[in-house]
A and B are shown apart, each in its own frame.
Chain A
Amino acid sequence: MRSENPNATQSITQVIAASSLGTLIEWYDFYIFGSLAVIIGQQLFPSDAGASALINTLAIFAAGFIVRPFGALVFGRLGDLIGRKYTFLLTLVLMGGSTFLIGLIPSYSSIGYAAPILVLILRLVQGLALGGEYGGAATYVAEHAPVGKRGFFTSWIQTTATLGLFLSLGIIVLTKNMLGSEAFADWGWRIPFLVSILLVGVSIYIRMKMHESPVFTKLKAEGKVSANPLKESFQKKANFKMVLLALFGATMGQGVIWYTGQFYAQSFLENTCKLDFNESRYILLWAILFATPFFVVFGSWSDKVGRKWIMLTGMLLGVICYRPIYQYFIDATNVREFEKTSLANVSEPVTERGLATNKTDSLITTTVVKTLASGMTFKEVKTETIAAGQVGSLPESAVAIKDVTLSSSTYIMVIALVFFQVLLVTMVYGPIAAFLVELFPTQIRYTSMSLPYHIGNGVFGGLVPFIATLVASFSGSTPLSGLWYPIGIAALSFVIGAVYIDNRVDNNVMD
């Protein structure tokens, strides 16, 4: 199949492949930082917990919430002025270059505060580049897609965010398993960053060979390129009202469903349910693997039945199902209750002695591995702290559960429930590129669609962990209280989308 441009020699398959590969790599680059944040903190940040937290706050908050929407404006404007191809080529170079350089930064013990400052600068560049990439790739593919197939073709771009997460988790788990935990924490964590340059190199080579979008080329030939895309997007009421509608009626709800299904689920299993590091990641990997084809299924279906109700159904199902799903996670991993009736085996205790974090008190940790009749295992770690100079006094002790592994049947059930959440992600995310592209005119499309997308995903979605933790800290809260944030935002977006958005598919994106 050929694209709509009669002069183009590239097939739509090449257009999709070139765009998707680059976007996938950008997501991969963005996620490995988040996935390796703890190790980066240990290697490149000062050991002073306070200073480290401050830099981390800037790296996470500023990159995600300020720089990303800012990147959408900067590169969106550029894309509407000079073209889609060169703009998203530039974002790829910036993202790949900064990721590679993060992998080369010497440790804090070698260069002191220069290390975290360099991390911060490169992380901000990553946020900026990500803000510019998605709008360009989605617009580029949509402007090549034939009538009646726009949802199907842009859905391939939609798979990239999830596949980027899959690739980052996969490479991290693979590298860690090959090198061992110690070598990985020492130097192996740099490999996923350095690998990025190879992936980016291939992607740049492919993208260089691609032509400019036929719709933009035509616009440029006719001298109709916007003189000031920012002004036209946000100062012209007719267009600005559509930007607001896209944000509040679609991307805001889509963002929280995306982050809850793919980040909060894994974080909840690891931190609240105390699942083993690898186990929680394998669960997400399986869920993503099975669910990813549905991006294309829902994208394609949206060409036939419209984008609106597929996206809104995904939001509504999230609102209804999140609490029962997460309640199951808690119930299924309640090893304290299970051991009362079905404890099958307790290992010999392993005792380690060392110094507490204050470097003066003594610390004794005793670990036993308990196995339940169902096959579930977990570690029970008893920590005793003896204050310096008070030998003979009663130690302060605490018992913690960690590294829970599930029985086969529970493991499959948990994968199924995470799969269901990722399925909701595919419903809200599969059709959204086509929906956004059709909402705005060619002259200002890149700018107009990038901002609501990155506010919806970067701000509303990116804040899911922070606000969920905040809500869980309110008095009288339960481990499920954090879910009220994504449920509330998805419900609000559902109501706005249901009442105000049109289900009509705009076949003409040439105007």
Chain B
Amino acid sequence: MNALKKFLGLVWMLLGPVIILFLFMQASDKIGLAAEGIDRTNTTLQWSIIILIFIPICAGLVIFGYYAWKGEYEHLPESSSEL
């Protein structure tokens, strides 16, 4: 199980940047498709908020993967004194 936890850690580390890249590609695509004027401003605003909020979440996923890779989740704390 610990080997699986470590291996999946690599997957999570890769998944974070992939999601961000996917979001940027979608944002560029959808903003380009929106009609010029307020419709485009609105689409840009929506995607800016989504990317703004997902960058730290994806960074969190990469950190989670790194911790998993380093074996931090092999033993979970059993009392608050371990935190």
Contact = CB atoms under 8 A, between A and B. Distances in A.
B49 A65 contact: yes
Nearest to B26: A470
Given A53-B42, A440-B83, A506-B78, A65 B50 contact: yes
B79 A508 contact: yes
Contact of A244 (B49, B53, B60, B78): B60
B57 A459 contact: yes
B41 A500 contact: no
Majority DSSP secondary structure for residues of A touching B: helix
B24 interface: no
A237 B68 CA distance: 12
A93 B60 CA distance: 33
Interface in B22-80: 26, 30, 37-39, 41-42, 45-46, 49-50, 52-54, 57, 60-61, 63-64, 67-68, 72-73, 76-80
Interface residues of A, number: 40
B45 A241 contact: no
B83 A441 contact: yes
Contacts of A245: 64, 73
Contacts of B46: 57, 61, 466
A511 interface: yes
A57 B45 contact: yes
B50 A463 contact: yes
Contact of B41 (A54, A239, A240, A441): A54
Contact of B42 (A57, A248, A442, A500): A57
Given A50-B38, A54-B45, A500-B73, A65 B53 contact: yes
A174 B73 CA distance: 51
Contacts of A463: 50
Interface string A451-484: 0000100010001001000100000000000000
Interface string A230-266: 0000001111111011011000000000000000000
Contact of B68 (A500, A501, A506, A511): A500
A504 B73 CA distance: 14
A424 B58 CA distance: 27
A289 to B, nearest CB: 34
B63 A50 contact: no
B83 to A, nearest CB: 5
A459 B53 contact: yes
Contacts of B50: 61, 65, 463, 466
B72 to A, nearest CB: 5
A46 to B, nearest CB: 11
Contact of B38 (A54, A58, A455, A504): A54
Contacts of B41: 54
Interface of A: 50-51, 53-54, 57-58, 61-62, 65-66, 69, 236-242, 244-245, 247-248, 440-442, 455, 459, 463, 466, 470, 495-496, 499-502, 504, 506, 508, 511
16 contacts: A50-B42, A53-B39, A54-B42, A54-B45, A57-B42, A61-B50, A236-B83, A239-B83, A245-B64, A248-B64, A441-B83, A455-B57, A463-B50, A499-B8, A500-B73, A508-B79
Given A50-B42, A66-B53, A247-B57, 6 more contacts: A238-B77, A242-B83, A466-B50, A470-B30, A499-B5, A506-B78
